[in-house]
Structure 1
Amino acid sequence: MPKVSAKRQITLPVSQCEALGIKPGDEVESFVAHGQLTIVKKKQGAAKGILKHVRGNPALTDEESLESALQ
């Protein structure tokens, strides 16, 4: 059973890493949802095209766009 170190680091079991193809140096993301921690291996290109349907408004400056997004 992995334990959290004093630096809040977790060592993943080799069997889990092998099952997911996680190798030393790979990047992972962690998320908390419904009281559970989920660790996901990042895959290059996984988000490619995710925003292709979003169209910008050329009438807005960058600053105006940022302000509207933060409201």
Structure 2
Amino acid sequence: MPKVSSKRQITLPVDQCRLAGIEPGDEYECFVDNDGHITIIKKVSGAARGILKGVDPDTRVSEDASRQSSINA
């Protein structure tokens, strides 16, 4: 079972990395919900390109608050 190192680093098991398509050097986003569950999402360049085309942003909500609300939903 993987453990958290003294530097708070976590090693992901190889089989999980293969399933998620995560390779050494990949970038990721990490989120924590109110129950303490951690979600790791591999960043993919251009993955959202054009998805929000024509949508006006709501500047009253920060990016971080928006991400958290989607996790807590």
TM-score > 0.5, shorter chain as reference:
yes
1:42 maps to 2:43: yes
Task: Give 1:25 deviation, angstroms.
Answer: 0.7
- Counterpart of 1:5, as a letter, is S
Highest CA radius of gyration, 1 or 2? 1
Give the structure-2-normalised TM-score. 0.65
* Ranges in structure 2 where 5+ consecutive residues have no aligned partner: 62-73
Correspondence for 1:20: 20
| Aligned Cα root-mean-square deviation (Å) | 2.4
Q: Greater relative contact order (Cα 8 A, min sep 6): structure 1 or 2?
A: 2
- Give the number of equivalent residue pairs: 60
Give the structure-1-normalised TM-score. 0.66
Give runs of ≥4 in structure 1 deviating > 2 Å. 49-52
Correspondence for 1:4: 4
